[in-house]
Each structure stands twice: as C-alpha cells, then as structure tokens.
Chains A and B, each alone.
Chain A
Amino acid sequence: MQYIPNIVFIIALILGVGFFAKNVKKLLRNINLGRDIDRSDNKPARWKNMAKIALGQYKMVKRPVSGIIHVIVYLGFIIINIEVLEIIIDGIFGTHRIFSFLGGFYDFLIGTFEIFAALVFVGVVIFWIRRNVMNIKRFMAREMTSWPKLDANLILYFEMVLMGLFLTMNAADLQLQIQGADHYASTTGEIMGAFPISQYIAPLFEGMSTSSLVILERAAWWLHILGILVFLNYLYYSKHLHILLAFPNTWYAKLKPQGEFTNVEAVTKEVMLMMDPDADPFAAPPEDEAEGEPEKFGASDVMDLNWVQLMNSYSCTECGRCTSECPANQTGKLLSPRKIMMDTRDRLETVGKNIDANKGVFIPDGKQLLDDYITKEELWACTTCNACVEACPIGIDPLSIIMEMRRYMVMEESSAPTDLNNAMTNIENNGAPWPFNQMDRGNWISEN
C-alpha cells in the first residue's frame, strides 16, 4: 500500500512525458513538410547567435520594461526547474528533499528558488496587467482576440498558480519541520533548506494539526508537479512553444545581410538557358527534372515554404514586436508580420490534422495559405524594410514568407497590381521602371 503514491507518480510522469514526446514527433513531422534549405554553414556564428539571442535574451532587453521582466521570468523558469529534478526523484522513491545532504549549498539553492518564485510571481502579475489593463497597442491587434488572447493569459495564470503552489508547499514543509513531523523533520532537528519567502507564509499554518499540514503539503506538491506535466503538454498548442524552439530558431536563422534575398535556383537555370546562345531550346530537360511537374515558383501554401520558415511559425511568441515596428501596420494597413506567422502556423496545423486523419497523406481541402489565410492586400503592403526581422527577439523572418508569396502571385498567378505590372514591363522593355529610353540614360551628364 505504501508504494501507491510512488506508482501513481511514475505513471503520471510516463503519461506526461509520453504525450509530450508524441506531440514533439508531430511537430517535427509538420516542420518537415517544408522544402529543404541548407542552414548548416558557419556553425560558430550560429552558436554565437543562439547564445546571444536565445540564451542571452539580447534582443528582449531592447524594450527594457518587458525585456527585464521577461529575463526574470525566464531565469526563474530555468532555475526553478532544477528543483523539479528533486521533486521527480522524491516522487519516484518516496524520499523527502533528497538533495538536502548538500547542506549549506542546499539552503542556498532552495533560498534562491524561493526568491525567484516570488519574483516570477510578481513579474507575471505585471505581465497580466500589461496585457489586460494597460491598453498596450501590440496586445490589442485584430489577430490577438479569442484563442491567442486566452492562450497568453492562461500561461500567466498557470505560472501564478505554479509559483503559488511551490511556495505553499515549502511553507507547509517548513511548518512540518518546525513541528518535528515524521518524514519531514531531519533526525538532528535542523531545518533543511532556507525559506526566505515562505517563512512569511508558514505562520499562517501555525494552528494546523500535523495531519492537515501533511495533506496541504502533499496537495501542493502533487498539484505543482502535475501542473508542470500539464504545462509541458500545453506547450504544443500554445505560443509558449518558444521556450524550446527559440533555441533552434536562432541557430538556424539567416546569417546573410538582411537585405540579401535568395536567388531562386530554378529561375537561374531557366535564365541561363535563355541567355546561352548555344542552348538547344528543344533539348530534353536534364535528368533530375525529367519526371514530375516543373517546380512551382514561390509559395501559395505551407508546403511551399522551407522548414525553417515553418519552424519559425511554431516558435512565434505572438509578442507583436515585429508588428509594432512595421511601417505598413503603423499606418493602418492590414499587414501585420505577426499575423503572417500566426496564419502560417494555423494553416500548418490544419494540414497536419488533415494528414493525421487521412493515414499519412494530405488530401487537398480546397484551401491554401494564400487568400484563405493571408490576403493579397496584406502581402502587397510590405515595403521589405526588414524592421520586423530586426525586431523579433527570437530571430524570426516574416519577410521571407511575404516574399515567397509575392513570388507566387507574380510568377504563377500574374496577379500583381496594375501599376507594378507597368513598372515591370518598363524594366523589361527599356531597363528602367519608368517609360524612358535606355539610350537616354546618360543624358543627365550634359543637361543643366
């Protein structure tokens, strides 16, 4: 009988981690629906990016208020997770504070966890106020209603509850140690751990009997660890996936100058063929292209994007820093780079579910990313200024998706705005976007 809690704990752990692993598998499958792209060059620079931007939160603190609070919550998250290790070991073996043999260092650890737990709690409350009371524009945009808004708040509630449980657990534990309860108090009667925060909560429990304290401590302990397992599984459905994906996301981010857009290789092949006077226009296409359809230019759906762009969409924290820097968005246009990322993720999820429901193959559902999720009006409003790319705290490149979709609209659909088509015809005919004769290009020299 006495092993029942241990067994229940192990089952909960296996279920929690197992479900999470299943979701990770699905996540990887979906990301791999994207086209291939090689981003394995210059590894030192990639590690450096990851260390600076993901680990070091370098871009977060460019906005000091939210940045610094975020750093606290982030540090708290990482540091308190060390405590989770002890919780897991205690849970499996039925021990109590297994690491307490570390003595003074243990006191230091627990003390630090407590301080961080309190700081995280305060930080999260401030975040909640910023999101719900302060009317901050980037949290009020049209893409931030219903689920995205709820998601953001749920995470904050989650963290408040988890931190609250952690401190309650410690306070009850401390009170039990003071009362010399079996299993809790050390043989020497010395208090294990330091409780700089929960020592102020403990007095609230003074009048309680040992048995009710044990129930309270156990309840807080169980809810805390089960909460963490639920949270782990909530990630996949939430913008909170960024706590994991920010790392690969920054590692695989573009290293080239922001202004350098890719040159489409399939186009290069055709252009070279057209320019080559010796090319035989009736020659059979080279081996590797002999079968299947010719490559589609640009992107009309998520499968046409590359896997880094799809990973970007899962990593997006929906913070809206990109959108608040976007010149189009600032001047009231529909375009929001954050929405580009959110739509890409939503579409990818739908495609993923379609594949799950159809035994591993995607059955066309009459929808696509272009038009059904992202409208042409949004795409044409972009000035390609890179402000969104620069602003993103985790190295997401919304502009690259906009560009792929423009390529599709122009090269596959010929659906560019008329004025743009005129400019392009001019470039084609006379080498300038305006209707001037190329022969007159040097006229400025002699004009006055």
Chain B
Amino acid sequence: MSETLKVPTMAEYMAQGKSPEVLFWVGCAGSFDDRAKKITKAFARILNKANVDFAVLGAEESCTGDPAKRAGNEFLFQMQAVTNIEVLNGYDIKKIVTACPHCFNTLKNEYPSLGGNYDVVHHTQFLKSLLDDGRLTVEGGKFKGKRITFHDPCYLGRANGVYEAPRDLLRKLDVELVEMRKCKTNGLCCGAGGAQMFKEPEPGNKDVNIERTEQALEVKPDVIAAGCPFCNTMMTDGIKGKEKEDSIEVMDIAEMIASAEEL
C-alpha cells in the first residue's frame, strides 16, 4: 500500500490530448462516505495493478440523480442527468465503470433517452473482463475456503439481471460460496434503495437491514460480500446491531480482491 494511487482526472487527460480506456464513475458514496471511499480506493488499486488506463471526473462529477428520481423528483433528476451528460459528452466518453449499482442503473438505462449513450458496466463485470482477458490474475489468498455469501444489490441483480459476474469473481477467490435463502431474482433488499438511505424508515416492527442480516447469519458466513456502497453500509450496521462485527466482515468484492492480492 506504500505506492500512491495513480488516479488522473479527465481534465488532465484532456490537457495531454489523450483519452482513457474507461471512465471510473465514483459516485457520491464512493467520493464522500468513509466506508465507501475504501471500496473506491481498493478498486483504483486493482485498476492500477492491471494497468488499466482510466480517469475520473473529480470535481466535475455530480450526483447521477438516482435518489432524486426514486424519491419522485423527476425535475431534479433530469437537471442532474442533463448536466452530467453535458460533461460526459464534452469529454466524448464511451465507456463507464462504476462501483455503485445505483449509478450503474441510472447511467445505463435512464441517461440514453436524455442524450447520454455510453457502454456502462458495474465494477464486478469490469473486473471479470480483466480476468477473462488475462490482464489481472487473482488467487484465493486469505479468503481461500472461507464461507462467503453474496448479497445481491437490487439495482444490479433484479433491476439489470447481473447475478453471475460477482459470483464468478468470488469463485476465483476459491471461497466456499453459500447462498442465502433469498438470493438472485428473489434477493431481499438491504433497505437503502428508493431514496430510503436518506430518510427515516416508516413505522414497522423491524428495520429491513436487520431482516436481511438475519438471513445472512442463517448461512453462517465469514464474510458477507457486497457490490454496492449502500448495501455495504446497511449490512455493516446490521452486523453491528447483531454484535457480530468481530466474527463477520462485510466487504465489497473489489476490497476482497485487493486484499487477496495484498494491494
């Protein structure tokens, strides 16, 4: 970890008259949330290791508008989208990778009809393609044989039908992959989606993340693997609520790969 991260911005690329292979869309959580920043850095380290020519927007990036849209504020969403599209098209961006399924879904599905057409992939899909192309190799390392369960993010799984890329990566880590009772198409939400992250839950008898954490605990995992910064927060809180933080970790798949490779 002694090496410093090489994370150029699009502006820097532009100044040199170059364009990167892929834009890394960091997202609000990835930029500002302390827990999510670790995921962002882990992913950037892997990109550095695999010599991926990438850039970020830095201060030119702004919220995709996903929470506004799911809250019903179509105006704010479209204002955000149109502003972002102007920046992205200004840099002639073709391909985007993001570690946030909400950004992924919005950029991929909801930007095209507003003039933003890009090839958008989730970071688990991107990492999988790096492995498939031989640009990155991973070995089990410290996760070999560990019991891992993957929590499907709604906006990656059901919303976009991506179930296998994250699981393929876990298999590459030689883990013992165990599925929760509710997984893949039937996966249970962590409770953060639909702008719930930014408000108090309605009255009920339990929080959604606790329900989901209980389902995860049923399969007795060593690590709960996540693919979304919001799921990560929710599951981490759930594990803390169950006082299991000493025995069970909640990790993003990018963090697991970075850690297995001792990056």
B-binding residues in A (CB < 8 A): 256-261, 263-264, 267-268, 270-272, 274-275, 297-298, 325, 327-328, 330-335, 377, 380-387, 389-391, 403, 405-411, 416-417, 419-420, 422-424, 427-428, 431-434, 436, 438-445, 447
Contacts and interface: CB of A to CB of B under 8 A. Distances in A.
B73 A424 contact: yes
Indicate the size class of the contact surface on chain B.
Answer: 35 or more
Interface stretch (B151-159, B165-173, B238-246): B151-159
For B59, B65, B73, B186, the residue with the greatest tally of chain A CB atoms inside 10 Å of its CB is B73
B96 to A, nearest CB: 16
Given A416-B71, A434-B32, A263 B202 contact: no
B200 A417 contact: yes
A224 to B, nearest CB: 41
A447 B194 contact: no
Contacts of A256: 109
B142 interface: no
A445 B59 contact: no
- Which of B83, B86, B105, B154 has the most C-beta atoms of chain A within 10 angstroms of its own C-beta? B154
24 contacts: A257-B105, A258-B158, A259-B109, A263-B110, A331-B205, A332-B203, A333-B204, A383-B154, A383-B189, A384-B70, A387-B158, A391-B186, A403-B70, A406-B70, A407-B72, A417-B199, A420-B199, A424-B76, A427-B67, A432-B31, A432-B32, A440-B31, A441-B32, A445-B58
B75 interface: yes
Interface string B37-61: 1001100100000000000111101
A215 to B, nearest CB: 54
Interface in B192-217: 192-208, 210-212
Contacts of A258: 158-160
Contact of B72 (A332, A409, A422): A409
A241 B252 CA distance: 46
A382 B194 contact: yes
Nearest to A256: B109
B175 interface: no
A163 to B, nearest CB: 34
A420 B72 CA distance: 11
A416 B37 CA distance: 29
Interface in B111-131: 113-114
Contacts of A331: 191, 204-208, 210-211
Nearest to B62: A431
B145 interface: no
A107 B215 CA distance: 54
Given A259-B159, A417-B199, A441-B59, A390 B186 contact: yes
Contacts of A444: 26, 30-31, 37, 40-41
A436 B68 contact: no
B23 to A, nearest CB: 14
A403 B72 contact: yes
Given A386-B154, A432-B32, A434-B32, A267 B159 contact: no
B63 A377 contact: no
Contact of B188 (A327, A335, A436): A327
Contacts of A436: 31-32
Given A263-B114, A422-B198, 5 more contacts: A325-B186, A431-B62, A434-B28, A441-B32, A442-B9
A263 B208 contact: no
5 closest A-B pairs (Cβ-Cβ)? A259-B159, A406-B72, A384-B194, A431-B62, A332-B205
Most A C-beta atoms less than 10 A away, residue of B7, B68, B187: B68
A268 B194 contact: no
A427 B31 CA distance: 14
B204 A328 contact: yes
Given A261-B69, A264-B74, A268-B114, A377 B188 contact: no
A261 B110 contact: yes
A359 B75 CA distance: 38
B196 A406 contact: no
A433 B37 contact: no
B199 A257 contact: no
Contacts of A391: 186
Given A332-B206, A406-B71, A427-B80, A380 B59 contact: no
Nearest to B37: A444
Interface in B4-50: 5, 7, 9, 26, 28, 30-33, 37, 40-41, 44
B201 A327 contact: no
Contacts of B37: 444, 447
Given A258-B159, A385-B154, A332 B70 contact: no
Contacts of A389: 158
Contacts of B78: 263-264, 267-268, 271
A267 B211 contact: no
B204 A407 contact: no
A391 to B, nearest CB: 8
Interface in B76-91: 76, 78-80, 82-83, 86
Contacts of B83: 275
B137 interface: no
A331 B72 CA distance: 23
Nearest to B44: A445
A433 B63 contact: yes
Contacts of B68: 424, 427
B191 A383 contact: yes
Contacts of A259: 105, 109, 154-155, 158-160
A272 B206 CA distance: 43
Contacts of B195: 384, 420, 423
